[in-house]
Structure 1
Amino acid sequence: MLISPAATAAASGVLYLHGFNSGSASPKARLVAQGCELLETGPLPCATPQLPHRPAAALALAESLLATLGPQPLLMGSSMGGFLASCLAERHDLRAVVINPAVRPAGLVEGWLGEAFVNEYTGERFSIEGAHRDELAELTPAWLDPRRYLVLLGTADETLDPRDGAAAYRGAAMILQPGGDHGFSALADYLPALFAHGGHRLAPGCMTRHSLEDDSHL
């Protein structure tokens, strides 16, 4: 069992998982990928896959990429991607950074049954079916080991109640952003903390608004 993030070796790579109906080209995904290029020790392998909308298929794709990222990848995920990152962290004894993570997502999508969506990154059209809910219920870990996680929560999240995230990950390292939204638009300011959770530091001087992409739409 994982003892603590500090007791493990530096992450060998990063796997970032986007949120529901988002994409591998989202601002947060691009920011994380850019951060992997700006570490003191040199570039770190990074994967930001475009995930299928079906949860089981998304988790299977993400899991298949772990072997490409070395022996101890650091997982990162936002919203539904945070849920999937937590599933993988518990399965494979890994550290994870979760940003406004979905908690008990089977109940969340229950209210979306029959609703149609269009993915702005891929153009894919799909509707939420009972299979989405059932797969999420099946995938939900029985317990989350708080020692694995760094949790970032926006206190003004308009989509998920941050109190649910705080309760589910109680005991984990946690950052609360006062007034923070669901998209966690200030993520660039917290990038050093994300990589520190994986035992890495950003190179001196890289954390400037000139060296990072414009993240105003995260």
Structure 2
Amino acid sequence: MTKTLLVYLHGFRSSPRSSKAVMTGEAVKGLSSPVNSFEWYCPQLLASPKESMDMVTAYIDESNADRIVVIGSSLGSFYANYLAEKYGCKAVVLNPAVRAARELAPHVGMMTAYDSDEPFDFRHEYIDQLKSLQVGAITKPERYFLMAAKGDELLDWQEMVAFYPGANQLVLEGSDHGIADYADHLSRVLEFISQS
């Protein structure tokens, strides 16, 4: 029996209740078989990037999984890059914020979560934490699967494509930052996860 730990990391101001997280979690349940089991780990990330990564790496380090796959959306993909390089594991990146410190610098201050309106303080020191987690360039592009939407209204899809040279890439015509048509492409994600 091979056990895979599947780590899903949501985006900035998002949560494990996001539609992509829920959809992926449900689909992953169907991947388990007598020879392969999948554990789903989709935590609520913290405002602090360092505390978020400390929490996730502690969970991974305590896991008895045979393999790890990380899926990230937007800021979660930035974290997925860090984890994939740290653990030498596969990563699925969905409209990744490849330069998160630059993207989030304008958002320092009080913010609210998308699905709860719960306030949180996004502090200036968190930008420095993001800088310390920045992956300069990916190694082993075959470990990565990029899904980038040309219609992303927040991030530049061309920058995403350029950051993952040689990786498995699915560039969507149109769509948006949240990948509204994610259900249409989920099978590609599952296929990549399932390959050892």
**What is the TM-score normalised by the length of structure 1?**
0.81
Q: Distance in 1 between matches of 2:3 and 2:147?
A: 19
Larger proportion of helix: 2
Residue aligning to 2:68:
73
Q: Distance in 1 between matches of 2:45 and 2:9?
A: 8
Match of 1:130 among 124, 127, 146: 124
**Which digits, 9 at most, give the CA deviation of each residue in 1:129-149, with x for residues without a partner?**
221110000110232122210
Change (3 A) 1:105 1:69: farther
Between 158-167 and 55-64, the greater mean CA deviation after superposition = 55-64
Q: Which runs of 5+ in 1 are unaligned?
A: 1-9, 201-218
Written as runs of structure 1 = structure 2, the 5 A alignment for 1:37-52 is 37-39=29-31, 41=33, 44-52=38-46
Residue aligning to 1:25:
17
Supply the AA of the counterpart residue of 2:23: L
Partners of 2:3 and 2:39 within 8 A in 1: no
Q: Distance in 1 between matches of 2:81 and 2:90?
A: 9
**Residue 4 of structure 2 corresponds to residue 12 of structure 1:** yes
**Residue 145 of structure 2 corresponds to residue 150 of structure 1:** yes
The count of corresponding residues between Structure 1 and Structure 2 is 191
**Which digits, 9 at most, give the CA deviation of each residue in 1:160-204, with x for residues without a partner?**
01111011111110001100200011111212211211225xxxx
Change (3 A) 1:69 1:161: farther
Partners of 1:11 and 1:198 within 8 A in 2: no
Three-state SS of the structure 2 residue aligned to 1:44 is strand
Q: Which has the higher contact order (CA 8 A, sep 6+)?
A: 1
Supply the AA of the counterpart residue of 1:132: Y
Shift of 1:85: 0.8
Change (3 A) 1:172 1:26: same
Written as runs of structure 1 = structure 2, the 5 A alignment for 1:66-215 is 66=60, 67-68=62-63, 70-114=65-109, 116-145=110-139, 146-199=141-194
Shift of 1:11: 6.7
Q: Distance in 1 between matches of 2:89 and 2:58?
A: 15
Change (3 A) 1:15 1:101: same
CA-based RMSD: 2.0
Between 80-89 and 33-42, the greater mean CA deviation after superposition = 33-42
**What is the TM-score normalised by the length of structure 2?**
0.90
Q: Distance in 2 between matches of 1:156 and 1:69?
A: 39
